[in-house]
Every structure is written in C-alpha cells, then in structure tokens.
Chain A
C-alpha cells in the first residue's frame, strides 16, 4: 500500500465547500483520475482519505493537507498530473509526496495553524493595534461559544498587525490547532471587534509536530 500526502490550495467557489463535501470531492477526483484508491473493509467501504484539519466555511487556504492510500505503486509526478486534470478550478495541487505507511494519523499531528486576514473595510489602525496588544498581554480571555465557556487566550500563539499599503489592514495570527484545543480565527476577530463579513481569512500554514 502506498500512502500519499497531498498539499493543496482551496480557493474561490471552493471556500464554500465544507469538510464532509471536501472528502467526497477528493474521492470523486481520485476516481476520475483513475487512482487505485484503497477502501476500508466492511459493509460500507470508505475510501482511505484523511484531511489534516477542517477548514471553516468561507476561508480560503494555500496549505491544506491530506493523506490518501493507494493499492498500487505509482510515480508521484503521475499522481500529481492526473489529479490536476481532474479537480475543479478552486482546488490546486501544490505538492505530492509519499509518507511512511506507519506514520501516525495526519489529524493527530497538527499542532497549530496560521492565518492571514484581509480587512475589506477601513479601520483605525492605532485602535486595532491597541486591541491586539491588550489581547496579547491579557492573562485570560474568557469567551463563550455554542453555550460552552472557554479561554481563548492560551489558544493564541501569535497575533500581529502586518503593514499594509492600502487603507485596510492585515492581521496575522497563529492559533493552536490540536484536537480538542483549536483556536478559531473568527473568535479572535470578534475579540478584536472586527465584524466577520468584513474579513477575508486565508489559512497560510499548518504546523505539524515532529
């Protein structure tokens, strides 16, 4: 069995395709590309595809990662070309590599994620800067999401304003992305007082352990 790791970008219309639908999308792409995709045993065989980390709806990304398992050996560049011809416009394959079959499951390896946020409306930069500093120097940031209380502060590893030539601004953040401890960019934006519909969020990097 061959375990393949694919890094891909998810942009444009595909920003509105959710996690489960993305699974299906890759399964169909593999079928169109005629890749010998491996399936689980059992009554309802499932394709062996695992996505590193769910990307919230509406975000674009240039760093998504998935593993898929093939039943037969195949040159990596051939896998890449075949997939490229069979994916919808919003998905671009950036890298194909093979990984050790016994390596731990991809989802368990993700530790943090970086996001770049473009603000589409003019903001008061000094005010925003003050808020960023406040958050970073706070001991804790108690918040509530879907009726559950939690502390956002420990999930924020980095938060900064990045210089922008336009009247808008760019915010960079690195958030924890472990199973059970995942920081959500829209929560950070909310803490900064930025309305969700004025922010374009792109995931720019996934960080893995080891």
Chain B
C-alpha cells in the first residue's frame, strides 16, 4: 500500500491539471489530524458526492466529532473525486485516500458511507473500486475494512445489500460507538487468543494491524447483534412467483427478525467546529439543527415519517451553539435547520434571541420550512433577511382535493394573504415549491398549480407593480418506503412530460415567472431504487460497470447506463415504479422499521384515498408506533423536549411483536 508521502508526491504532479485542486488536499481549519499510531480504531467517513457538496454535510460532521472525541479512535474524511481527478488517479495508480492523513482508505478499520439519497449508490461502488477494495461484500476478507452505510436511503437498504457489510438504521450518534466498541473488543479478544498478534496490536501500523484483525465473519456477527444494525448477509429473502417478496428470515440467532431504527432520546449538543474549506463550496454556512422529526404527517414526506419522534433543542442551546459555531468558523451564513421551523415550540423566542445575539454582525440567517401564514413573514423580517433572496414557501399542491390526499391542507386564501404580505413587506420574489405526480393527480390538479402561481403574482402586482416576481419550483413525487404512499405507483415518463408541458405552456407566458422542474429520467432513477429489492443490486453493479456515476448530476451517465443494466438481468424497471402494490404485499424492507407501524401507514394511506385529513399529532397522538417502541426512552426523558405524550405506565419491556405488520 502506498504511504502518505508517496501519495502526496504523486498528487503534486497531477493536481494542477484538475479543476479546483483544493478539493483534494485537506488542510482545512477544524479538521482533525490525530497521530495514526496512537489510536486503535481508524474510521473513514465518506460522503459519496464531490467535496463541494459533501464537506458541509451535517450528518457526517456529527459522526466526525463523535468519533474524534474518543481517545482510542480517529475519523477522517473522503469524498468522490470529480471525473477529471478520477481519470488522473486511475492513470497514476493513486488509490482514494483520506484528506487528513493522505492514507489510502483501504488501511482504515471501518469505512462509513453516508447515503442520504439513492443517486449516490453508483458513486459508493466507484469509491470502493477507486480504493482498491472489492466492491462486493462477499469478496472482501480480513485484510479489508468493514464497510457500513447509514442515512435516510438505508430505510430500504436492500438494493445496496451486496455492497455494504452492514447498515445503520436510524440515527448514528450512539450506534457508531457501539460499532467501534464491538470492533475493538473483538480485536482485543483475538489478540489474546493468538499472542503473536498482541504486540502488533498496540501499535497499529497499517500492515501489522491488518494481520491482527479477527475473522470477518465474527465481526459481522457481532455487528448484527447491535440494535439498529442490519447485516444483510445474515438474512434470506424468498420470493413469490410474481417477483414480490414472500418472506425474509434471519439465518443466525444474533440477527433480529426486525431491525428497529436507532433514535437518540436526547439530542446531543450540536456540532460547532464545522470544517472551513479553503476553497468556495456550495453551502458556506453554519447549520444548527433546532429540532429533529416532524409531527405534520405529510403523506409524501419520507423524512417526516422516518425521523419521529419530534425532539426540540432549547432556545438557549441553539443560540449558544450558533454563536460558538460562527466564532469557530467565521462563516457569514447561519441556517437554523428543521423539517418545519414554524412548529418549533418557541420559534418566536428563538428568532428574538438570535436577532439580538447577532445584531450588527454581517450575517445572513435562514430559517427554512416556514408555514404559510403571516407570522412567518414577521419572523423573517426580524431575522433581517436580505430581501433580495426571495421568500420561499412550499404549498406542494394547489387543488383542495390534492391537499387532502397528501395531508398538507393549506387553503388558497392563506397562500394569497401570506404572499401578498411578503410582497408588501419588500420582497420582490416569492418562491413556491410544488410537487406533481401525487397519487391520483390529474391534469386538472396540475392546472391548479399554474392558476395559483398566476393568482399569487397578480396579487403581488397589485401591491408592488411590475417588480413582482415568482419562482415556481415543481419537482416530481417519488413514492418512498416507510411512508403512507409506499403502496402507490409512480407517474410514468409520459404522465410527467404531459404535466410538465402543461406547466410550461401556462407559465412561460409571463416573463416574471420562473419555472424549474425535475427531469423525468432523474425521477425514475430515484423511483426504481427507492423501493427496490435485492435483485436491484445486480442492476446497480451493471449500471456502474456501464459507466453510471454522479447520477444526481447532469454530467453523469444515466439511462444509457441503467436501461441496459435492467435488460441484462431480465428485470423490468416498471415493476419497481409503475405498479400499485397489493395491500398485503410484503415489501423488500419489511424487516426494517422506523418504528412507525405498517398498519398505521396503511390506515393513513386509506384515509388519503378518502380525502381525510389527519391533524398535527402534537395535538392528538395517533399512536403511530413510536411510543410503544421507545416507551422506556420516553419514560427516562419526560417533559417538553419530546412532542409525544409522556409515558407513565410502569416499565415493561417492548418486544418486536408489537410491530407486527400487515402481510408480515
């Protein structure tokens, strides 16, 4: 394996030939470089997109801090090299390396991928390959790192089951320690068993620590026993004749029948020492998570369903963290993050405290995901937002029928009144986000989007005249696993194109309306993978072999790589996208749960068909399944931070039988 010095000298010869070489050299403020030989567990954290996107990812930053706070472990980072860099790395035989120590990824003990969205899958394969690590889990042996993945897309891990050794389901803050501890205790154990290795263990020089690694299968068995960790090789999937899943069974006693997500009962202090890149990136900002989870229950929303329960941080904690983070980074922008800012209990107090604390400092503050009501305009005004940036609201649908179906019910009048107020208070641009492709949507519902946009702008013109502008961002809905819409069919390419044509026809006429949309190819790719099964692993592999990577980018190869890959394995993409699931269908992700019960989701799906609204569950608990699963945690953490009701009943152990699901 190449030494860091060898890698650096090879890099020096190629870096000036690539666009933005600063992506590949590390050296950022707040990055953490530890003495390699004095820690036992070495972890590489990977965001499989380019540096410019990955470096500001908060999820990985949390893990980076969690691991580096330990004396016995270190975490370093790597991202996907852009096309130009990859070509040069391959031509010069430079393996992918971690930015901190410049050591090849292959000499780490553990590699953790963040997979928030499906279009990163081919990049993950490519990164393993660039690191000289076998892409398939089955081909790896004791000399290779353990490869794990986490992030929202792993709520259905099956399409990637062949490539990852293990998946983390749910939140990573606590489970990452369980994983590292398991790894270290197994190693200590195997060192005791074979005394020759003991001496080598203490000083983890790359080559020697490899020889001390315990049998891979032992490690994976130990990981399978950790709650919230899914090791796919210990599960067998049987299929029905129609290609759907018949059942999924664990093959070893350590592996639970159902893997329930991990959830941290009390949010740990937010990270403040963000990496400060030495080159321009996409989001140069400090992000402070004000709360996790969402109680709104929008039926299309993957994040809202899988991140329950709602846990809020205190105003004081948020303000202090923001202050410290701005001090330690010098960034000029602060984002207060959550899925639904207006629902944060003390949002007014928060905004007051933040604007007071940062008064007079040159800082842009954003508070995304505000409800459509005039209070939101007051809040933004207090944050002294640059009016030039536009004001963003997300009605998601424009007809009464659709709003009931998706459970995001906002009357037109509220939208008109709020946007009128926005224009009146000095913003010239209103940005409205919609989605097309919701279940049972017709052209009439899409027409309503165009009509609403025009009406909003007309009203705006009455207030500020021809200065008024509107930006309509219309994405396409992709049905996601673990949501009430996991049963529905996704729009076909023809449907999507027809709906987009309507919007273009209607909205292009006004030059003060800007329309943006998602390409159907991108939507379909996401849709295949979101609800894919194990069979898709071969398709992903072939697509990658056909050149697919950077699937979220226009520069990436798309359908010319994917369609032949489906054909090669005799699979029909429409099976995954354009098929209404049977009500008793066993899903490929049946053994994974976000602790929201399948029959709750199904009931919600039925309600959607009948146009029935479910109100915010802060007002009325609908027993989605979170409380029985996490009853003990709730009991130990009573009070205001959680937005689920308190649990007072005496301790009783919660068994996974309570999660029994329809068709399960």
Measured CB to CB, the residues of A under 8 A from B are 12-18, 20-21, 24-25, 27-32, 34, 39, 45, 57-58, 86-90, 120, 196-198, 200
Taking a contact as CB atoms under 8 Å apart, the answer to whether B13 and A197 are in contact is yes
B18 to chain A, nearest CB (A): 10
Chain B residue numbers with a CB within 8 Å of A25 are: 278
Residue of A nearest to B33 (CB): A89
In the assembled complex, 18 residue pairs joining A and B whose CB atoms fall closer than 8 Å, in A order, are A14-B278, A15-B25, A16-B24, A17-B279, A18-B279, A21-B278, A25-B278, A28-B276, A28-B332, A31-B330, A32-B328, A39-B362, A57-B16, A58-B21, A90-B278, A197-B17, A198-B13, A200-B12
Which residues of B lie under 8 Å from residue A13 when comparing CB positions?
Answer: 22, 25-28, 278
In the bound complex, how far is the Cα of B280 from the Cα of A21, in angstroms? 6
Q: How far is B280's CA from A10's CA once the two chains are assembled, in angstroms?
A: 18
CB of B495 to closest CB in A, whole Å = 44
Q: A24-B280, A32-B329 are in contact. Are A12 and B27 (CB under 8 A)?
A: yes
Min Cβ gap B28→A in Å is 6
Docked-complex contact B22 and A21, CB < 8 angstroms: yes
Does B53 belong to the interface (CB within 8 Å)?
Answer: no
Q: Which of A14, A32, A58, A197 contacts B27 (CB 8 A)?
A: A14
CA distance A15 to B28 in the complex (A): 12
> How many angstroms between the C-alpha atoms of A197 and B88 in the bound complex?
13
**Bound-state Cα–Cα, A87 to B28, Å:** 9
Q: In the complex the two chains form, what is the Cα distance from A64 to B247 in whole Å?
A: 67
- Of all chain B residues, the one with the shortest Cβ separation from A21 is B279
Complex interface: chain B residues within 8 A of A34 (CB)? 327
B14 interface residue per 8 A CB criterion:
yes
The CA-CA distance from A121 to B276 in the complex, in Å, is 35
Expressed in whole angstroms, the Cα–Cα distance for A58 and B14 within the complex equals 11
Q: Which of B9, B276, B329, B362 has a CB less than 8 Å from the CB of A45?
A: B362
- Asked whether, in the complex, the Cβ of B15 is within 8 Å of the Cβ of A58, the reply is yes
Closest 9 CB pairs of A and B: A13-B27, A28-B330, A31-B330, A13-B25, A32-B330, A16-B21, A17-B278, A16-B22, A88-B29
> Which of A57, A120, A197 makes the CB contact (< 8 A) with B14?
A197
Which A residues are CB-close (under 8 A) to B14?
197
The verdict on A16 contacting B25 (CB below 8 Å), with A21-B278, A196-B16 known, is yes
**B300-340 vs A: 1/0 string, CB under 8 Å?**
00000000000000000000000000111111100000000
Q: Which residues of B (57-102) have their CB < 8 Å from a CB of A?
A: none
CB within 8 Å of A: which of B622-649? none
Question: How far apart are B617's CB and chain A's nearest CB, in angstroms?
Answer: 42
Which residues of B sit under 8 angstroms from A12, Cβ to Cβ? 25, 27
Which residues of B lie under 8 Å from residue A197 when comparing CB positions? 12-14, 16-17
- Tell me the complex Cα distance, A200–B12, Å: 9
CB distance from B278 to the nearest CB of A (A): 4
Residues in A neighbouring B326, C-beta threshold 8 A? 31
Chain A interface main SS type: helix
Question: Residue on A with the closest CB to B11?
Answer: A16
Q: Which of A15, A30, A58, A200 has the most CB of B within 10 A?
A: A15
Residues of B within 8 A of A21 (CB): 22, 278-280
In the bound complex, do residue B16 and residue A58 qualify as a contact, i.e. CB atoms below 8 Å apart? yes
- B401: shortest Cβ distance to chain A, in Å? 45
> Beta-carbon contacts of B330-352 to A below 8 Å, as 1s and 0s?
11100000000000000000000
Docked complex: B235-284 residues within 8 A CB-CB of A: 276, 278-280
A28 neighbours in B (Cβ, 8 Å): 276, 329-332
Q: Closest residue of chain B to A87, judged by CB?
A: B29
* Cα distance, A15 to B278, chains bound together (Å): 10
B279: which A residues are within 8 A, CB to CB? 16-18, 21
List the A side residues contacting B331 at CB < 8 Å.
Answer: 28
Extra inter-chain contacts (11) besides given A13-B278, A17-B278, A197-B13, CB under 8 Å = A13-B26, A14-B278, A21-B280, A39-B362, A86-B330, A87-B29, A88-B28, A88-B276, A88-B278, A89-B27, A90-B278
A171 to chain B, nearest CB (A): 17
Chain A, residue nearest B25 (CB): A13
A190 → B minimal CB distance (Å): 13
A90 close to B330 (CB less than 8 A): no
Q: Tell whether A90 pairs with B27 under 8 Å between CB atoms, given A16-B15, A21-B278, A57-B21.
A: yes
| CA gap between A169 and B278 in the complex, in Å | 31
- Kindly state the separation between the CA atoms of A162 and B539 in the bound complex, as whole angstroms: 60
B479 to chain A, nearest CB (A): 42
Residue of chain A at shortest CB distance from B29: A88
**A16 vs B279: C-alpha distance when bound (angstroms):** 8
Q: Are A27 and B22 in contact (CB under 8 A)?
A: no
Considering the chains assembled together, what is the distance between the CA atoms of A34 and B324 in angstroms? 12
Report how far A13 CA is from B327 CA in the complex, Å: 23
Complex CA–CA separation, A58 to B17 (angstroms): 10
* A39-B362, A58-B16, A88-B29 as given contacts; A32 in contact with B280, CB under 8 Å: no
Nearest A residue to B22, CB-CB:
A16
Contact (Cβ within 8 A) A88 B329: no
Q: How far is the CA of A16 from the CA of B18 in the complex (A)?
A: 11
Least CB distance, B327 to chain A, in whole angstroms: 6
- Which residue of chain B is the closest to A197 with respect to CB atoms? B13
Measured in the bound complex, the distance between the Cα atoms of B8 and A120 in whole Å is: 13
Whole-angstrom distance from the CB of B4 to the nearest CB of chain A? Answer: 13
Instruction: Return A79 CB to nearest CB of chain B, in Å.
Output: 16
Q: A17 near B22 (CB under 8 angstroms)?
A: yes
- Measured CB to CB, the closest approach of chain B to A137, in angstroms, equals 31
A88 to B25, CA, bound (A): 13
> With A16-B22, A58-B16, A58-B21 in contact, is A32–B278 under 8 Å at CB?
no
Question: When chains A and B are docked, how far (Å) is the Cα of A31 from the Cα of B29?
Answer: 14
Closest B residue, CB atoms, query A196: B16
| B328 neighbours in A (Cβ, 8 Å) | 32
Bound CA–CA A206/B278 (angstroms): 23
In the complex, chain B residues whose CB is within 8 Å of the CB of A15: 25
Expressed in whole angstroms, the Cα–Cα distance for A5 and B349 within the complex equals: 43
A88 and B27 contacting across the interface, CB-CB below 8 Å: yes
B1-56 residues with Cβ-Cβ distance < 8 A to A are: 9, 12-17, 21-22, 24-29
CB distance from B484 to the nearest CB of A (A): 45
How would residues 503 to 522 of chain B score, 1 for a CB under 8 Å from any chain A CB and 0 otherwise? Answer: 00000000000000000000
Contacts of A196 in B (CB 8 A): 16
Hey, which chain A residues are within 8 Å of B12, CB to CB? 120, 197, 200
Tell me how far the C-beta of B14 lies from the nearest C-beta in chain A, rounded to whole angstroms: 7
Closest A residue by C-beta to B327: A32
Residue on B nearest A26 in the bound complex, by CB: B330
A29 to B327 alpha-carbon distance, docked (Å): 10
CB-defined contacts of B28 to chain A, threshold 8 Å: 13, 88
Min CB distance B21 to A, Å, is: 4
- The distance from the CB of A103 to the nearest CB of chain B, in whole angstroms, is 27
Chain B residues whose C-beta falls within 8 Å of the C-beta of A198 in the assembled complex: 13
Q: How far is the CB of B604 from chain A (nearest CB, A)?
A: 46
Residues of B within 8 A of A88 (CB): 27-29, 276, 278
Kindly state the separation between the CA atoms of A31 and B331 in the bound complex, as whole angstroms. 8
**Residue among B12, B29, B328 with most chain A CB within 10 A:** B29
Interface centre among A16, A34, A58 (most CB of B within 10 A): A16
Complex Cα gap A29–B328 (Å): 9
For residue A11, which residue of chain B has the nearest CB?
B27
- CA A34 to CA B15, docked complex, whole Å: 34
Query: Measured between C-beta atoms, what is the minimum distance from B5 to chain A in Å?
Result: 13
Is A29 a contact of B330 with CB atoms below 8 Å?
A: yes
Cα separation A15 to B15 with both chains bound (whole Å): 11
Q: Which of A14, A88, A89, A197 has the most CB of B within 10 A?
A: A88
User: Do residues B278 and A27 form an inter-chain contact, with CB atoms below 8 A?
Assistant: no
How far is A14 from B327 in the complex, measured between Cα atoms in Å?
Answer: 21
Residues of B close to A32: CB separation below 8 A: 327-330
CA gap between A45 and B25 in the complex, in Å: 31
A59 to B9, CA, bound (A): 15
